[in-house]
Amino acid sequence: MSNFIQQFSKFLRLRVSISEWIYLVKCVIGASICYLFYIFLPQYPVYWALISVVIVFSPDNSNKLAYDRIKSNLLGASIGMILFLIPIPNILLICIGVALTILVGIALRLDNTLRSALAAMVIVLIEENQAHDWLIPIERVICVCIGCFVALIITFVFSKFKIYGQTYLKH
């Protein structure tokens, strides 16, 4: 399989590493799974799960970074949900949310993944010309969690393949 990917890369005249191919495959699988949720649950804003899942992965395929980004997404979504309950203008909520997300993220040592947390917080807080309905942020938190869960499963499966591949190559 590895030889096929290398030959395919040469065919396309790309210098794509195995790690970058794995990243591409993870993103495509994650986006495909979340898109299926989007198709089968059209009444919910599952498109936010698509964003959530692709934010988690990185080209270096670091499991720690993926897990930290999942934690960051959940942190940002949680902060967004809590702030949504405060009856002040949306711009103030977003500004407070940015500051709070950064401070809590730093306190939890999630410095390298703060962008994921901020994106999730904005996903939950942004109002798209809709009434201030508390169901909207709950649906978005659930969608962010769906994206995180899909990313978690994909990361777990790929890490098992990596362990299996390393064991196989040693023998």
Torsions phi, psi of 14, nearest 5? Answer: -110, 155
Q: Tell me the residue range of the domain where 140 lies.
A: 46-52+67-151
Q: Tell me what pLDDT residue 134 has.
A: 76
Spell out, as residue ranges, where the chain has pLDDT lower than 70. Answer: 1-2, 5-6, 8-14, 128-132, 162-171
Q: Tell me what pLDDT residue 131 has.
A: 64
Q: Tell me what pLDDT residue 60 has.
A: 79
The answer to whether residue 121 sits within a structural domain is yes
Domains identified in the chain, total number: 1
Q: Tell me what pLDDT residue 130 has.
A: 62
The answer to whether residue 157 sits within a structural domain is no
Q: Which two tokens stand for residue 105?
A: 């993220």
List the one residue out of 34, 48, 9 whose CA is nearest residue 151: 34
Q: Which two tokens stand for residue 35?
A: 């898109």
Q: Tell me what pLDDT residue 119 has.
A: 92
Cα of 108 vs its chain's centroid, Å: 18
Phi-psi region of 23 (alpha: psi -120 to 50; beta: other; left: phi over 0): alpha
Residue 57 half-sphere exposure toward CB, CA atoms < 13 A: 29
The answer to whether residue 35 sits within a structural domain is no
The answer to whether residue 14 sits within a structural domain is no
The answer to whether residue 113 sits within a structural domain is yes
The answer to whether residue 8 sits within a structural domain is no
Q: Is the dihedral of CA 17, 18, 20, 21 positive or negative?
A: positive
The answer to whether residue 59 sits within a structural domain is no
The answer to whether residue 162 sits within a structural domain is no
b/e for 53-82, b at 16 or more Cβ within 10 A? bbbbbbeebeeebbbbbbbbbbbbbbbbbe
Q: How far is CA 36 from CA 3, 39, 47, 61, 164, in A?
A: 31, 5, 10, 24, 29
